[in-house]
Amino acid sequence: MILLLRERATPEQLELMLRSHKFYIKTAVDIERRVLVGGGGLHVDCEEKLLDDGSRQQDIWAASFMPITGKIIYESMVNLRPRQNRSMELLDPNIRERVAQLINEFLVNL
């Protein structure tokens, strides 16, 4: 299940987002609007939901999150943009930090 979040996920929402891959959640975040979409089979599904919600393409970045370990993997076709990022891996350390901050804020239950 794909969920659009504007605040921290509940434990029930985390469970729903984990249904597709069991141990990790595909995410896309809008680093300007501070919105996260998680769940589903592909990062592009999350990206599409953000675009439908009014996000701009240049503000959306994708990563996978493993709740058990807290590890974030910054690799997705969504991140491959010749003018902004020349790799599937998110290379800009400042953008990586902003993505990590949002994933931790929305998906890590303290």
Please give the average per-residue pLDDT across 42-69, as a whole number.
Answer: 97
Domain ranges in the chain?
Answer: 3-107
Q: What is the mean pLDDT of the chain?
A: 96
Alpha-carbon distances, residue 60 vs 4, 11, 82, 101, 103 (angstroms): 13, 25, 15, 14, 13
Residue 86 — very low, low, confident or very high, per pLDDT cuts 50/70/90? very high
- Percent helix, percent strand, percent coil in the chain, to nearest 5: 35, 25, 40
